[in-house]
Amino acid sequence: MISKIDYIKEYAKELKLLNLQKKIDEFIEHGENEDLSYQEFLYKILNEEIIAKEERKKQTRLKNAGFPVIKTIEEFDFEFQKSISKRHINRLLEMDWIDKIYNLIFLGPPGVGKTHLAIALGYKAIDMGYKVSFISMDNLVYSLKTQDIMRKSKIKINKIHSSDLVIIDEIGYLPINREEANMFFQLISALHEQTSIIITSNKGFGDWNELLGDPALTTAILDRLTYKCELFNMTGKSYRLTHRKSFLED
Ligand code: ADP
Ligand code: MG
């Protein structure tokens, strides 16, 4: 004989109330033990369902973002990195720059925390409900070039186009040719004024010409990126070098 509980589980599944489906026994036991009113009982079930659903959506956004690691603002040492103000970053954590479609550019030598801050802001944006895509410049160029022949590349590029925030990490480690620069320009043009972009680069704008091959294209790209933009020139020592870990000496 099929019990009422089994029916409820089936119905919950059919209605995609996955939390209820999983925890129905617990809910009933809790309701009976705590002598909940009908109103309280229903409230608890629906409230937990909403919370669980939001959490699942957030986990999906996090997976789709493609962060290489998770970094948070709480882990960032503003005493070590003094060229950026904690007050400014806290202001950015409110995320209204994404609604207003501003870009952020972090420039500076290796190890000063550019990628850390970019990921931390992206992570917080996901927490607040935004869709984010993280991609290294190398991987972006590769994905742009192979999107017509590789499903994985196409999926990544599509995700980029449907994101609220796109983080392009490490422009400048490898120079790109004119054809690649042209594809990059097409992408930036398509995202421009629709999507916020965070760029990190170890090269100053003066070096971008050499990097992107073509001066006219570089100007056009920089024009779009810097039109509505906060620029952070980060300086200082490499956090990695200063906090170098030794396996043998520790
Ligand atoms: P960049 O992108 O500027 O080359 P990263 O952001 O990758 O540098 O930082 C290198 C490493 O040092 C990362 O593990 C990062 O978490 C850490 N790091 C850099 N700056 C800080 C900081 N101010 N506080 C805490 N960790 C930092
Ligand atoms: Mg980096």
88 & 52 share domain: no
Residue 142 sits in which domain range?
Answer: 73-242
* pLDDT number for residue 250: 64
Ligand 1 lined by 136 (C-beta under 6 Å): no
Kindly report the CATH number assigned to the domain that includes residue 212. 3.40.50.300
* Ligand 1 atom nearest to 106, measured from its CA: 3
Residues 103 and 204 in one domain: yes
Let me know whether 117 and 143 are in one domain: yes
250 occurs within a structural domain: no
Q: What is the pTM of this model?
A: 0.92
Answer whether residue 248 is part of any domain: no
User: Which residues neighbour ligand 2 (ion) by CB within 5 Å?
Assistant: 114-115
CA 84 to chain centroid: 20
Closest residue CA from atom 6 of ligand 1: 113
Domain final residue pick, 15, 42, 64: 64
The count of structural domains within the chain is: 2
125 lies in some domain? yes
| Residue 226 and residue 115 share a domain | yes
What is the per-residue pLDDT for 19?
96
Are 78 and 171 part of one and the same domain? yes
DSSP 8-state code for residue 45 = H
- Which ligand minimizes its atom distance to the CA of 110? 1
Radius of gyration in angstroms for the set of CA atoms belonging to the chain, rounded to a whole number: 23
Which of 64, 89, 104 is where one domain is finished? 64
Stretches in the chain below the pLDDT threshold 70: 250
Residues 53 and 82 in one domain: no
Q: What is the pLDDT of residue 241?
A: 86
Among residues 243, 172, 232, the alpha carbon closest in space to that of 201 is found at: 172
Q: Under DSSP, is residue 240 helix (H, G, I), strand (E, B) or coil?
A: helix
Which of 45, 64, 83 is the endpoint of a domain? 64
The alpha carbon of 2 is separated from its chain's Cα centroid by a whole number of angstroms, namely 46
112 and 20 fall within a common domain:
no
Q: What pLDDT was estimated at residue 18?
A: 95
Ligand whose nearest atom lies closest to the CA of 244 = 1
Packing angle, helices 178-191 and 151-161, rounded to 10:
40
Predicted local distance difference test score (pLDDT) of residue 74 = 96
120 belongs to a structural domain: yes
* 151 and 233 belong to one structural domain: yes
